[in-house]
Chains A and B, each alone.
Chain A
């Protein structure tokens, strides 16, 4: 049994940690709700959001971010599910070599690939297009995603696929009817994670799509917007930051619920 003192002490530490973590977030929101200089509004106001939206072109860049994130998440999820199935369930003969390769992809810092990527896309003419952001991010999420799915499938009993094959299912039917539906919850959690990474990606966007406003993603246009407006209206920048971060927050809450669910499932079994 923990003593009362220990409980109080533990909670105090958690509380301090939570305050430190929440402070920047709360202060940004408060600032975003404060009237900007020169506006006639009193008290709390939403007009910063409106002016950020109209002046910063965020409708365009948020849509771009959504297109990129959606493409990356869907492609990664499908590829990882297929790869995880082949590696863990079908026991692909060279799986050790494949895992070793994926490991390289996992440990290589993303900064190290930017210059080669730039050259590659410059030579193929894909610079300043959606592809310049989508393709590298599929590639960089793929190792982690594959480990994730392979590990999930490896935990299921082998007799599951054996039973299905005796029931007359082909390898693809086993994936389609058994492993894909069972893996759905793992895929959803994974998709949330990949969404977070992809949405927040800044460096790639900065290097690979600097000259085409039509395809720029939200973090990039936030940075340009902030660069232009920095001195005059910090409240509008704060509002823009909240707009850009909103989808991440939603994804985070979704993810957190899934994690809690996973923990509870484990406890009940």
Chain B
């Protein structure tokens, strides 16, 4: 087990800069999720930590050791690949024991460690099978087992669940998290799925175009997004954004609709802002004269909650309501929100105003 210290790391492939200065402190035993849209450089960063890509600039330390020039086989880091990369000609047990065999550890001891890991992962009845005879979820477990057996300093995962169906994905998510709680090994986990990030991470690092947009605990990114990119990426359905300006201490959209604000924001009077509110923070009110009027467009019931697409003036917004509402497309409702849940963003820089 070890901390991972990533200091101003850069990567270019020829002339294209893929990582433009990334710094992350991963504490010993932490579960850090790297999340971001496709192509933002998550896999590249992970592969640099593993030693599979060279480092164009900056430093990567594991524990106190500088890793920049250390070949992968000497890093004591385990990685679970998206395609699992199991050795097709070996049985499950041989796959899991391969690293120990290379270290010339006695057969009996290898057998013991493999059986222990198989026990944790529920692979015991499959030990003599080959990868081709396993389901996707089972292969995924073998890939994890291969990592566990080694007891490495750091675990890396590159989108390990993306080849599984939705139900299995949710199940494996929980299993990986409980595995982490059990082993307490430092883990870095790459995904482009913000739900995976929110549910699994101690710390989320949200990347975009080779830079970090925000890093912090999941709820911090959810509650206090640093900018519109973070606000829009974390949370599903995504945060509603309405363009407008502050007039007389209230928000008025460009379409002329007034939306509720808590305290009148200081220093923003007369300025253009973007009003951000999450779908789950909208409420339908019945008392007359309260809230902003919106027209119902599409209703998508999902059992525990109902997702409603509405137009507010001319702006399209989404609301998620847990109560059963008697709504019909074309009808008009009045919406309010907890003023504490409202964010104001600078339309130029995208940054969130501190209210």
Interface, chain A (partner B; CB < 8 A): 157, 159-160, 162-170, 173, 177-178, 181-182
Give 4 nearest A-B pairs by CB, closest first.
A159-B85, A167-B99, A163-B85, A159-B81
Q: Mark B87-126, 1 if CB is under 8 A from A, else 0.
A: 1110000000011001100000000000000000000000
Question: How many residues of B are counted as interface, with CB atoms below 8 angstroms from the partner's CB atoms?
Answer: 24
Q: Check if B66 is an interface residue, CB within 8 A of chain A.
A: no
Q: Which B residues are CB-close (under 8 A) to A178?
A: 87
Interface, chain B (partner A; CB < 8 A): 50-52, 71-75, 77-79, 81-83, 85, 87-89, 98-99, 102-103, 146, 150
10 sample A-B contacts, Cβ–Cβ < 8 Å, listed by A number: A160-B87, A162-B81, A163-B81, A165-B71, A166-B50, A166-B73, A166-B77, A167-B73, A182-B87, A182-B88
Contact B85 A169 (CB under 8 A): no
Q: In the complex, what distance in Å separates the CA atom of A170 from the CA atom of B82? A: 23
Nearest neighbor of B143 in chain A, beta-carbon distance: A163
Closest chain A CB from B129 CB (angstroms): 17
In the complex, which of the residues A159, A160, A168, A181 contacts B73, with contact meaning CB atoms closer than 8 Å? A168
Contact B88 A173 (CB under 8 A): no
Contact B89 A159 (CB under 8 A): no
Q: Given A157-B85, A178-B87, A166 and B102 touching (CB < 8 A)?
A: no
Contact A166 B78 (CB under 8 A): yes
Q: Given A166-B78, A182-B88, A157 and B72 touching (CB < 8 A)?
A: no
Q: Which B residues are CB-close (under 8 A) to A173?
A: 102
Work out how many contacts link A and B, with CB atoms closer than 8 A.
59
User: B72, B77, B83: which has the most chain A beta carbons within 10 Å?
Assistant: B72
Q: In the complex, what distance in Å separates the CA atom of A206 from the CA atom of B294? A: 95
Q: Which B residues are CB-close (under 8 A) to A157?
A: 83, 85
Closest chain A CB from B149 CB (angstroms): 10
In the complex, which of the residues B52, B71, B82, B102 contacts A167, with contact meaning CB atoms closer than 8 Å? B102
Contact B72 A162 (CB under 8 A): yes
Closest chain B CB from A210 CB (angstroms): 46
Q: In the complex, what distance in Å separates the CA atom of A159 from the CA atom of B50? A: 12
Nearest neighbor of B50 in chain A, beta-carbon distance: A166
Extra contacts, 7 of them, besides A166-B52, A167-B73, A167-B102 (Cβ < 8 A), are A159-B82, A160-B87, A166-B77, A167-B146, A169-B98, A170-B73, A177-B98
Contact A162 B102 (CB under 8 A): no
Q: Given A177-B98, A182-B88, A166 and B72 touching (CB < 8 A)?
A: yes
In the complex, which of the residues A160, A163, A168, A182 contacts B79, with contact meaning CB atoms closer than 8 Å? A163
Q: In the complex, what distance in Å separates the CA atom of A169 from the CA atom of B150? A: 13
Closest chain B CB from A232 CB (angstroms): 56
In the complex, which of the residues A160, A168, A170, A181 contacts B85, with contact meaning CB atoms closer than 8 Å? A160
User: B52, B81, B85: which has the most chain A beta carbons within 10 Å?
Assistant: B85
Contact B150 A162 (CB under 8 A): no
Contact B98 A167 (CB under 8 A): yes
Nearest neighbor of A159 in chain B, beta-carbon distance: B85
Closest chain B CB from A73 CB (angstroms): 22
In the complex, which of the residues A160, A165, A182 contacts B72, with contact meaning CB atoms closer than 8 Å? A165
Q: Which B residues are CB-close (under 8 A) to A166?
A: 50-52, 72-73, 75, 77-79
Q: In the complex, what distance in Å separates the CA atom of A170 from the CA atom of B77? A: 15
Q: In the complex, what distance in Å separates the CA atom of A160 from the CA atom of B89? A: 12
Nearest neighbor of A269 in chain B, beta-carbon distance: B132
Closest chain A CB from B52 CB (angstroms): 5
Q: Which B residues are CB-close (under 8 A) to A162?
A: 50, 52, 72, 79, 81, 85
Contact A181 B71 (CB under 8 A): no
Contact A167 B150 (CB under 8 A): yes
Q: In the complex, what distance in Å separates the CA atom of A165 from the CA atom of B99? A: 9
Q: Which B residues are CB-close (under 8 A) to A170?
A: 73
Nearest neighbor of B79 in chain A, beta-carbon distance: A166
Contact B102 A181 (CB under 8 A): no
Closest chain A CB from B211 CB (angstroms): 26
Contact B73 A169 (CB under 8 A): yes
Contact B78 A169 (CB under 8 A): no
Q: In the complex, what distance in Å separates the CA atom of A157 from the CA atom of B131? A: 15
